[in-house]
Amino acid sequence: MKRFFLLGLLAIGVSEARAQSIAAGTISLGGSIGYNQFSSNMAYSSSGGLNSNFFSETKGHYFYLSPVASYFVADNLAVGLALGFSNGTRVEDAVSNPALTTVQHIRYTAVSLRAGAFGQYYKMLNTQFGLTGRLGAGYQRLNEDRDGYHDTNGITNYFTGTNTSAGYYADLTPGIVFFPVPKFSLNASLGSLGFSHYRLTDSRYNDTNGGSYSRGDKNNNFTANFGLDAFQLGGTYYFGR
């Protein structure tokens, strides 16, 4: 009797393990979406004059959308393709004290595109809840426009500019996954570790004082962005599960 009981427990355990896995051959389609609104303030000083104290404010928002398709090459291990699109605006204002006049106003508008491949591993803790880790890399492109003015000694200088950059990225993104039903999951992440390389292919600037330039440059960045401001929520449908 004890032997049959142990065999029964083993069978239940094997069945449960199978229920927790996502089988090889499964195809998934999904994506994530994110939105963030932010603001910050800072006080600083500059040498000379009554208006040597300044207050600056930065505020803005951005929107992010990423469709994803993947194929499970082994149980709980998928490889796939991902696209990314983001659009955001940031406004920076500096106000002098005690005059309380705006001495600088800059508005940035940025649009970025990404296209890459990734591998993602699922560690299911039970039949509905699990952890994920995704390693991705690919091509990226960024276009940023800016306009505004500087007020120096009562002389206002209006300007416009644009930067166009292209390069590549690599990132590692941990996340959580929840299956309310077997074929559909909700996915969430709170940030990622990443490396980003941009080559500034074109940069132009013009102002009302006759200033202008055009240049190229390169930029490498390592980032560790975690927190609610990096929160993304997505959904995925699994064919063949």
Question: 108 in helix, strand or coil?
Answer: strand
Supply the pLDDT for residue 4: 36
Residue 3 has pLDDT above 80, yes or no: no
Helix (H) or strand (E) holding 16: helix 2-20
Residues in the chain: 241
What are 206's strand-pairing partners? 160, 212
Task: Give the sign of the dihedral formed by CA 16, CA 118, CA 231, CA 234.
Answer: negative
Q: Which of 97, 194, 89, 190 is nearest to 137 (CA)?
A: 194
pTM of the model: 0.72
Supply the pLDDT for residue 236: 96
**Residue range 68-97, pLDDT digits in tens:** 999 999 999 999 999 999 999 999 888 776
Q: How confident is the model at residue 7 (pLDDT cuts 50, 70, 90)?
A: very low
Joined together, the tokens standing for residue 58 give 């930065």
Supply the pLDDT for residue 98: 60
**Residue range 193-211, pLDDT digits in tens:** 889 888 887 777 777 766 5
Higher pLDDT, 237 or 14: 237
Mean pLDDT of 149-178: 87
**106 in Cβ contact with 137 (< 8 Å):** no
Supply the pLDDT for residue 8: 41
Distance between CA atoms of residues 21 and 123, nearest Å: 8
Higher pLDDT, 84 or 17: 84
Task: Name all domains of the chain by residue range, CATH numbers in brackets.
Answer: 2-239 (2.40.160.20)
What are 128's strand-pairing partners? none
